[in-house]
Amino acid sequence: MKLTVLGATGPTGQIFTAMALDAGHDVTVLVRNPAKLQFIRVGSKKLNVVTHPGGPCPMLSIAFRHILAAAARQARPPRCVLMTTIGVGGTSFHVKCLLGAFVAGWKVIHDYEKADALVRAEHGDVPYVLVRPAHLTDGAGTDKYKLSLASKGCYHFAMTISRTDVATFLLRAVCTSDFDNKAVQLY
């Protein structure tokens, strides 16, 4: 399968990209700084690196607007998987406030909200999966994480999930239609 990854140099993106390459997928990564790809066999024939200059927020929402428009023009639109965070999409006002004020910053959270809303507004033209993990940890994967399809729930800041478990789920979401047109909360 051919995959395109935005965020491949981030901590979860690095794990996901390595997993996708190990699974034999052809992966194109869009990066600002290719030097941050040292974690991957850059000489891999399955990896294509595209460099762009980057820019300020709201980068994710702008990128997804273009991605969704291009995907909708395809005879068979590809699945778009977007990872944001619990707190986005109305899942938890309190977590959103904590993340906006103390962790990610309000510009990032507003950008996540815009991208999330853009994807949901596609009305089925492009298959999508919205992935909203809880607090990310650097621990090993357990395959014992929980997921919820409920848009509102008892999600709180103390919930955690390893980046490896999130990357594993992202690859599953890319490769199957099990979660098409759904928002999935992971913890």
- pLDDT tens string 64-108: 888 888 888 888 888 999 998 888 777 777 777 777 777 777 788
- DSSP state letters, 49-97: EEE----SSSHHHHHHHHHHHHHHTSSSPPPEEEE--EEEETS-HHHHH
> How much is the average pLDDT of 129-151?
88
- pLDDT tens string 111-138: 888 888 888 887 668 899 999 998 899 9
- Listed range (27-31, 60-64, 114-118) with the worst mean pLDDT: 60-64
- Listed range (24-33, 44-53, 62-71, 109-118) with the worst mean pLDDT: 44-53
- pLDDT for residue 162 is more than 70: yes
The overall average pLDDT reported for the chain is 84
The pLDDT confidence band at residue 153, using thresholds 50, 70 and 90, is low
- pLDDT for residue 42 is more than 60: no
What pTM, to 2 d.p., does this model score?
A: 0.87
- pLDDT for residue 109 is more than 70: yes
Q: What is the pLDDT of residue 16?
A: 95
Q: What is the pLDDT of residue 121?
A: 86
Higher pLDDT, 44 or 6: 6
Q: What is the pLDDT of residue 45?
A: 74
Architecture of domain 79-186: 3-Layer(aba) Sandwich (3.40)
